[in-house]
Structure 1
Amino acid sequence: MTSIPVTTDGRGSRIEQPEYDAVLDEVTRWVQDPGEEWAERIEETGTVPRELFDELKQRGYLSMAAPRDLGGRGLAFSQWMGLMEVFSRSHASIRMLVHVLNGTWRAINPHVTEAQREKFVKPMIAGELLVAFTLTEPGNGTGADITSTVRREGDTYLLNGRKHLITFGVNCDYWLLFARLEGTSGKEGTVALLVDRHAPGVEVEDTSQTMGVHGTDHASLTFTDTPVPVAQRLGEEGDGLAIALGGFLTPSRISVAMSCVGLAERAQELAVDYATGRVTFGKPIASRQAVAFMIAENEADIQAAKQLTLHAARRWEEGADDAPALSSMAKMTAVDMLTRVTDKALQVHGGIGYWKTSPIERVYRDARAQRFEEGTNEIQKTVVARDVFTRAAQKENA
């Protein structure tokens, strides 16, 4: 299988500033009005209605970050981060949809044949196919220790193994799944496959009962000699982890970091509104130094994380070698920031913030998910430390 080299990975395109400003204004107005109505409906029903998916698709919000020649809007990655910041102020499931669908194509596009690009990538960008990133396993980490295996019989791989915590794994069209050839270890022999959601030999368990991010479905998957056409392999045998970790996780970690910034901004907005409106002893509580200091600390925290995240986004956009480490720095900084900001924002509300009738309650609950999305902070610290020590060794040997 021969991969066709492409440069359209979203790094080189950019729209003009007036057009971008108009898009940003449109998205902001949507998030503040219909987006909030959808958020209330999701919380009431516990599901993401198909009508919401269709509306996001019709508005072009699921294809913002893709190049125009693939059917996308052509935003640069750093421009997309500005929109991600705004979308993340909405319901977490809305953020999850636009985050995943604007990014999964990026992992596979540089590794596909032209036929695969027409069959999978362009329909993904158009919102006609929902593909779930499928790496994590219940008994392993999320890297070279994966144990799901395939063995080849003619033009078919037979897949065996288990995956869990798979976002959109119940209702997707395909799983972008990573496994290894039987008998291999480490990164050698890893493969990336597009597995049909309705392929035989698959047991799908819906595990969507989560603390937050209500409405987004999650799955545990068991594969028993599930047939996957070799034509649905991406890249070559041995490319699996490179596709998973490089093509998806680096920009996705930056995107998650920016989602933390957006959600923290929403928490801060709610805290400020409450502090200026809540009166005790004849004065708004915003006049109390204890409250004002929490608001000030939140503001500084948010801005610091935002600037690091934008720096990481620009470095990835430039193809810089330090982008992977910066993505981990941004993600671990932003999730810690979000924890502090939402905790203080809830504290500003006092006891009333603990009730589900208060918007800050949902924000506080949803914020916990980013702590492990695209790898825990412990994983991010490992990536950063490895980069620091590698650069130190290179400097010493120079």
Structure 2
Amino acid sequence: MKPYRSPWMTPELDILRTTARRFFEEEVAPHANRWRKQHQIDRSVWLKAGELGLVCMSVPEQYGGQGASFAHEVVVMEEQARICDTAFGFVPGALNAPHFLLHTATHEQNLRWMPDIAAGRKGLSVCITEPDAGTDVKALRTTARRDDDSYVLNGNKVFITQGRQAELSLVAARTGGGGAKGISLFMVETKKTPGFKISRVLEKIGQNGLDTCEIFLDDARIPAENLIGGVEGRGFGQLMDVFVRERLSIAVTGVATAERAIELALGHARNRKMLGQTLWDFQNTKFTLAECATEVRIARTFVDRLVMELSNGEEIDPAEAIMAKYWCSDKQCEIIDHCLQLFGGYGYMTDSPIAQLYLDARVQRIYGGSNETLKDLISRAM
């Protein structure tokens, strides 16, 4: 079958792919097991990525980024998927954290914080999810009370990506009444704010190399100038604008990891001897992988169109980004499961790449909006 090349690929992106592949093979892959045990990557690796320009690539140059397109970030996501890694903080939640800041903060605020983020000197987490307010952001309970030249934050956040390592946290809190209009965003400099408390690093079934924390805000006092955008009550709309990008990123990683699972299964099937022949010689194996390859190609072509539109500066339909997220994450889990089955008992061992893909994939159907909730949102747009 003729190798597929995404229509948005260019010679410049081919060069980036070579750089990203070398980075993941040399700086990330050798440390995967250790990072899973310690629940975080080494900061030195994040700094190395910053030196190579692999962090905040689509952030404007005036804020320390590369001024590149979304397609550049897609290339890096694909290369991370190729080595079956989720420890390096380029998974969707962490990848889009700088864009929450970029699209919601004032020019002065971006100048203040973004260059350190882009260089890898400081990490950024986004604190939105709460124990009783996950996909339903409008229901969040964390409060921010104005007190002279400060805001005092109180509340509980959970499932916070890079919560332990990040020096900066973008926190959603309620400054007004109920619903969407009462939500604002704030920047908390975590190491300088005594009331910002990391309760624990959460144990997960997958993505264990990426620290995920529960956080308490206990009279956390921050300067009033850390109100993102300078105006209260705009937080919900600001978040929704960036969710489109995040959901497309989840779709991209879903397709890329499913493609990698097929490659691994095909290589295994052609070499695995069984009952006097190879596993590939069985019709069931051929049919299974043919079906998987067809479904992932369908997903790839849909996602490629959205990537091309976003990379060209076009405004993509939020409903289509939701469709892509739900469809691709569902197919990611299904396809990886089918491929793992072909490995037999070896596929159940956690040191197997296919097993790691399987474990890390499950959350894709949950974060960025659970797929069940997203189907409801699609129906509202019909």
Match of 2:32 in 1: 39
**1:329: Cα distance to partner?**
0.5
Q: Deviations over 1:48-86 (max 9, x none)?
A: 223322322222211322233332223211342233222
Whether 1:176 and 2:164 are equivalent positions in the alignment is: no
Residues 1:328 and 1:141: Cα distance change in structure 2 (over 3 Å) = same
Residues 1:383 and 1:286: Cα distance change in structure 2 (over 3 Å) = same
Whether 1:262 and 2:262 are equivalent positions in the alignment is: no
The AA in structure 2 aligned to 1:192 is L
Residues 1:229 and 1:29: Cα distance change in structure 2 (over 3 Å) = same
Cα RMSD (Å): 2.2
Structure 2 Cα separation of the partners of residues 146 and 308 of structure 1: 33
SS in 2 for 1:141: coil
**1:336: Cα distance to partner?**
0.7
The AA in structure 2 aligned to 1:97 is F
1:245 is aligned, of 230, 233, 240, to 240
Whether 1:24 and 2:17 are equivalent positions in the alignment is: yes
* Mapping 1:47-196, distance limit 5 Å: 47-94=40-87, 96-97=89-90, 99-100=92-93, 102-142=95-135, 143-182=137-176, 184-196=177-189
**1:102: Cα distance to partner?**
4.1
TM-score (normalised: structure 1): 0.87
Q: Deviations over 1:160-206 (max 9, x none)?
A: 11111111111211211111115x01111211100121312233112
SS in 2 for 1:226: strand
Structure 2 Cα separation of the partners of residues 333 and 240 of structure 1: 28
Structure 2 Cα separation of the partners of residues 163 and 285 of structure 1: 48
Do the aligned residues in 2 keep the contact of 1:316 with 1:323 (CA within 8 Å)?
no
Match of 1:7 in 2: none
SS in 2 for 1:97: coil
Percentage of pairs with the same residue = 28
Residues 1:95 and 1:369: Cα distance change in structure 2 (over 3 Å) = farther
Match of 1:305 in 2: 299
Corresponding residue pairs, total? 372
Structure 2 Cα separation of the partners of residues 281 and 134 of structure 1: 54
Structure 2 Cα separation of the partners of residues 357 and 188 of structure 1: 47
Do the aligned residues in 2 keep the contact of 1:278 with 1:285 (CA within 8 Å)?
yes
**1:365: Cα distance to partner?**
0.9
Match of 1:369 in 2: 363
SS in 1 for 2:180: coil
Do the aligned residues in 2 keep the contact of 1:43 with 1:215 (CA within 8 Å)?
yes
Structure 2 Cα separation of the partners of residues 137 and 46 of structure 1: 21
Do the aligned residues in 2 keep the contact of 1:78 with 1:310 (CA within 8 Å)?
no
Structure 2 Cα separation of the partners of residues 98 and 206 of structure 1: 21
Which consecutive unaligned segments of at least 5 residues does structure 1 have? 1-14, 389-398
Match of 1:217 in 2: 211
Do the aligned residues in 2 keep the contact of 1:39 with 1:90 (CA within 8 Å)?
no
Q: Which range moved further: 329-338 or 362-371? A: 362-371
**1:103: Cα distance to partner?**
2.4
**1:34: Cα distance to partner?**
4.4
The AA in structure 2 aligned to 1:55 is K
Do the aligned residues in 2 keep the contact of 1:27 with 1:86 (CA within 8 Å)?
yes
SS in 1 for 2:103: helix
**1:280: Cα distance to partner?**
1.5
Q: Which range moved further: 53-62 or 231-240? A: 53-62
**1:384: Cα distance to partner?**
1.1
Match of 1:335 in 2: 329
Structure 1 Cα separation of the partners of residues 134 and 221 of structure 2: 25
Structure 2 Cα separation of the partners of residues 292 and 34 of structure 1: 35
Q: Deviations over 1:117-138 (max 9, x none)?
A: 2211222222222110110010
Structure 1 Cα separation of the partners of residues 182 and 88 of structure 2: 34
Residues 1:265 and 1:223: Cα distance change in structure 2 (over 3 Å) = same
Residues 1:58 and 1:208: Cα distance change in structure 2 (over 3 Å) = farther
The AA in structure 2 aligned to 1:96 is G
Runs of 4+ off more than 3 Å = 29-35, 43-47, 94-102, 314-322
Match of 1:384 in 2: 378
Do the aligned residues in 1 keep the contact of 2:254 with 2:329 (CA within 8 Å)?
yes
The AA in structure 1 aligned to 2:75 is G
Q: Which range moved further: 116-125 or 73-82? A: 73-82
SS in 2 for 1:63: coil
Do the aligned residues in 2 keep the contact of 1:108 with 1:243 (CA within 8 Å)?
no
**1:96: Cα distance to partner?**
3.4
The AA in structure 1 aligned to 2:76 is L
